[in-house]
């Protein structure tokens, strides 16, 4: 039996689902507009070149695959194409309309504003420069400006004055592409959400885990790490769980995995975004280590129409911390990986960058180039191990600069 994946995230969940499919005796096939761009550690992985920006082309390619039983994706930007193609092929998958409403943060806001307005920040959808004039007076400062189509903190700006709103908003409206992705010429303006941030990992209508986010940088645009499960008072746990499930039902996303980002503010939980996929940033691995739920295998089972096992079998704590390269330039070498791996409780260490890699600093999650993942019996042991290990990782640049992420064991408390 074959299963097809439309593109792939470059690590974490992307690797996990392909590995799960192979372990289940399936034949995974990667559909990609550029199959050779992936350095995936699966020598026998079949690859098929196809225009993955067009669901009709994906359907055409999929029909040529013998005994195809499922089609999906772990890559945020291709969730709509995959859902459309699966529906057209008569294969299991989420509701394409629900996925589309999640793919666009503007659509998410519009849907939730009608059925659960208490779960979202105040917002405006901006299409023209003159619509920026009164945003600050309407939403209050700081104003958060973002492209509704991007992920990972891409093209997110904070504006503290009317002049900044107009300048930064105008620049975003004029931006036609980012990291190779075409933009649709609108931006989302929102009121700033004050409070700690979490993500909720769900499957169908079941909560698998709540993840605590550790952010980096003055504006918190880089998710420096994740802790699973988040240790929360019962009341907060209930608030987060209820808000997440209410949002998913309102959006119609009750099939398979979802990764919902949420903040606990002084006025209650607020939805930041909803993603119709497995969580990125090694969260799939954290969930498996902490709860025993093989999130990747559950998705593969779901995609081929088999029952998914999401029963929790473990009660441990898992953390990941990323080494962030806050500098543009060419990497001469990545050092300290072996030292990081020797830290007690470390489960895995890895990097996306090698000697000769040219990095362009973005100020968002694209600056995370290495990681250390830990598993322990207590949350503090897991977090400390991941922090210590990640602090060992050093990026030595060709211009002579030596870059490493400073250790930080300070965590937000609720």
CATH number of residue 169's parent domain:
3.30.1490.20
* Tokens at 179, concatenated: 């990291």
Q: 177 pLDDT band (50/70/90 cuts)?
A: confident
- Residue 105: is it exposed, middle or buried by C-beta count within 10 angstroms (0-12/13-18/19+)? buried
Predicted confidence band of residue 351 (pLDDT cuts 50, 70, 90):
very high
Q: Which of 147-156, 166-175, 312-321, 347-356 has the lowest mean pLDDT?
A: 147-156
Stretch 193-207: mean pLDDT:
95
Q: What is the model's pLDDT at position 155? A: 81
Evaluate if residue 4 carries a pLDDT over 90: yes
d(CA 284, CA 294): 8
What is the C-alpha to C-alpha distance for residues 2 and 26, in angstroms, rounded to an integer? 6
Residue finishing a domain among 191, 210, 233:
191
What is the average pLDDT across 21-30?
A: 96
In a domain, 96, yes or no: yes
Q: Which CATH number do you get for residue 382? A: 3.30.470.20
Evaluate whether residue 262 is within a structural domain.
no
What's the distance, CA 397 to chain centroid? Answer: 28
Domain co-membership, 136 together with 169: yes
For residue 354, the model assigns a pLDDT of 86
The answer to whether residue 273 is domain-embedded is no
Mean pLDDT computed over 142-158 = 87
In this prediction, residue 367 carries a pLDDT of 86
Q: In whole angstroms, what is the distance from residue 24 CA to residue 80 CA?
A: 26
Q: Write out the DSSP string of 335-404.
A: E-HHHHHTSTTEEEEEES--TT-EE---SSGGGEEEEEEEEESSHHHHHHHHHHHHTT-EEEETTS-EEE
Pairing of strands 206-216, 197-203: antiparallel
The structure's pTM equals 0.93
Looking at the predicted structure, is the pLDDT value of residue 219 above 70? Answer: no
Task: For residues 404 and 363, state if they share a domain.
Answer: yes
| Same-domain pairing of 53 and 141 | no
- pLDDT level of residue 39 (50, 70, 90 thresholds): confident
**Cβ–Cβ contacts within 10 Å for residue 359, how many?**
19
Whether 175 has a pLDDT exceeding 70, the answer reads yes
Say yes or no to pLDDT of 78 above 80.
yes
In-domain check, residue 184: yes
Domain end call among 153, 171, 191: 191
Q: What average pLDDT does the segment 334-355 reach?
A: 94
| Domain range enclosing 140 | 122-191
Assess if residue 336 is contained within a domain: yes
Residue 185 banded pLDDT, cuts 50, 70, 90? confident
Is the per-residue pLDDT at 160 higher than 80? yes
Between these two residues, 1 and 326, which has the higher pLDDT value?
1
pLDDT in tens, 248-298: 999 999 999 999 999 999 999 999 999 999 999 999 999 999 999 999 999
Tell me the mean pLDDT in the region 187-211: 95
Instruction: Please state, for a pLDDT cut of 90, what percent of the chain lies above it.
Output: 79
Same domain for 93 and 164?
A: no
> Average per-residue pLDDT in the chain?
92
- % of the chain at pLDDT higher than 70: 96
Q: Where is the domain boundary, 160, 191, 222?
A: 191
What is the CATH classification number for the domain harbouring 35?
A: 3.40.50.20
pLDDT: is 303 or 406 the higher one? Answer: 303
Element holding 163 (H helix, E strand): helix 162-174
9 and 88 both lie in a single domain: yes
Q: What DSSP assignment string belongs to 100-162?
A: HHHHSHHHHHHHHHHH-GGGS--EEEE-SGGGGTTHHHHH-SSEEEE-TT--TTTTEEEE-SH
Give the per-residue pLDDT at 414: 34
Please count the structural domains in the chain. Answer: 3
Q: Is residue 85 part of a domain?
A: yes
User: Do 339 and 406 lie in a common domain?
Assistant: yes
Is there a single domain that holds both residue 321 and residue 414?
A: yes
Q: How confident is the model at residue 217 (pLDDT cuts 50, 70, 90)?
A: low
Q: Is residue 371 part of a domain?
A: yes
Task: Tell whether 401 is covered by a domain.
Answer: yes
The reply to whether 359 and 390 lie within a common domain is: yes
């Amino acid at each position: 039996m074959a299963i097809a994946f439309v593109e792939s995230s470059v690590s974490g969940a992307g690797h996990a689902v392909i590995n799960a499919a192979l372990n289940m005796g399936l034949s995974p096939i990667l559909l990609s507009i550029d199959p050779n761009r992936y350095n995936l550690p699966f020598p026998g992985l079949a690859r098929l070149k196809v225009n993955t920006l067009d669901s009709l082309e994906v359907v055409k390619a999929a029909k040529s695959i013998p005994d195809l039983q499922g089609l999906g994706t772990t890559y945020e930007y291709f969730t709509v194409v995959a859902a459309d193609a699966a529906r057209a092929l008569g294969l299991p998958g989420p509701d394409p309309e629900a996925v589309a409403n999640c793919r666009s943060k503007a659509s998410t806001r519009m849907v939730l504003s009608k059925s659960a307005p208490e779960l979202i920040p105040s917002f405006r959808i901006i299409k023209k420069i003159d619509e920026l004039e009164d945003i600050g007076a309407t939403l209050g400062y700081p104003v958060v400006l973002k492209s509704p189509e991007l992920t990972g903190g891409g093209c997110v700006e904070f504006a503290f004055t009317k002049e900044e709103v107009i300048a930064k908003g105008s620049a975003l409206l004029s931006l036609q592409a980012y990291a190779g992705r075409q933009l649709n010429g609108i931006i989302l303006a929102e009121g700033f959400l004050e409070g700690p941030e979490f993500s909720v990992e769900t499957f169908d209508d079941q909560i698998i885990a709540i993840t605590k986010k550790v952010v980096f940088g003055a504006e918190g645009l880089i998710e420096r790490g994740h802790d699973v499960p988040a240790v929360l008072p019962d009341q907060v746990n209930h608030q987060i769980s209820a808000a997440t499930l209410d949002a998913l039902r309102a959006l119609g996303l009750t099939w398979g995995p979802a990764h919902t980002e949420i903040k606990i503010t002084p006025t209650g939980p607020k939805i930041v975004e909803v993603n119709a996929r497995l969580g990125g940033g090694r969260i799939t691995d954290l969930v498996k280590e902490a709860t025993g739920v093989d999130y990747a295998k559950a998705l593969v089972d779901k995609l081929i129409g088999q029952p998914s096992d999401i029963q929790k079998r473990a009660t441990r704590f898992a953390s990941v911390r990323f080494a962030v390269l806050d500098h543009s330039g060419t990497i001469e070498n990545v050092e300290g990986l072996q030292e990081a791996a020797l830290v007690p409780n470390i489960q895995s260490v890895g990097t996306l960058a090698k000697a000769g890699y040219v990095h362009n600093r973005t100020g968002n999650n694209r600056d995370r180039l290495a990681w250390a993942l830990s598993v322990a019996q207590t949350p503090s042991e897991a977090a400390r191990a991941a922090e210590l290990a990640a602090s060992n990782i050093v990026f030595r640049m060709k211009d002579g600069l030596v870059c490493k992420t400073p250790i930080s064991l300070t965590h937000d408390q609720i």
